[in-house]
Chains A and B, each alone.
Chain A
């Protein structure tokens, strides 16, 4: 079974600075997908960015980018120019290419933005 680990329960960053959230995962599969979800105080789950394992190029979405290291099974999220609206819980998630489209989530990192 796949597992996802987020070793930073809480992080904080100064507004306009850059922060990196860590995520590692364990799998025996070669093809899979990785996601970062944001959960603001409203509790809504919002997809931030996704990465296909077969792609070497790191995904980027505006101020959000990932550092995907397949051999190390690492998938970190970098947030540039942090804004107050980025304050939220961030979850890393894994999805197998096969079968059930289940997302396996990490335990989350709570990000605080310091004005």
Chain B
């Protein structure tokens, strides 16, 4: 089955700097890769996602890149702000197979943005 590894587990940056979180996956059939942000006391919130037919997607200060050959994808946050502090999760899923559409999550990255 699919296995998703996420690094680093914790990341501390200065306000205004960029933050990068990386994930690798094992199942070459995976074709959907969402990123979630979880603030304290809240559930995970979808912030951006990418499908395997594109290599990069941007939404304001957030971007995701996908390398299908290497089976890894990354979240990039530019001009970080204190409100970006949260736990970020990557996930992967495949539209095919017995567990159709089921998301497999990484363990999460706790991002701290210092003012």
A pairs with B: no
Report B's interface with A, CB cutoff 8 A. none
